[in-house]
Amino acid sequence: MNYMRTGILLAAMTGLFLAIGFLLGGQTGMIIAFVVALAMNGFAYWNSDKMVLKMYGARQVDAGSAPEYYAIVERLVRNAGMPMPKVFIMENPQPNAFATGRDPDNASVAATTGLLQMLTRDEIEGVMAHELAHVKNRDTLIMTITATIAGAIGMLANFALFFGGNRNGVGGIIGTIAIMILAPMAAGLVQMAISRTREYEADRIGAEICGNPMALASALAKISNGAARIDNVHAESNPATAHMFIINPLHANKVDNLFSTHPNTQNRIDRLQQLARGGGGFTATANSGPWG
Residue type at position 234? H
Kindly name the residue from 123, 125, 131, 201 that is annotated as catalytic: 131
Structure letter (DSSP) for residue 287: P
Q: In degrees, to the nearest 5, what angle opens at C-alpha 198 toward C-alphas 247 and 228? A: 10
Backbone angles phi, psi at 59, to 5 degrees: -115, 135
Please list the residues that pair with 290 across neighbouring strands: 120
Closest residue by Cα to residue 178 from 157, 152, 153:
157
Backbone angles phi, psi at 98, to 5 degrees: -155, 165
Burial of 266 (0-12, 13-18, 19+ CB in 10 A): middle
- Name the strand (E) or helix (H) holding 161: helix 139-163
CB count, 10 Å around CB of 233?
12
Residue count of the chain? 292
* Known catalytic residue at 201: no
Backbone angles phi, psi at 92, to 5 degrees: -155, 130
Active site positions, annotated: 131
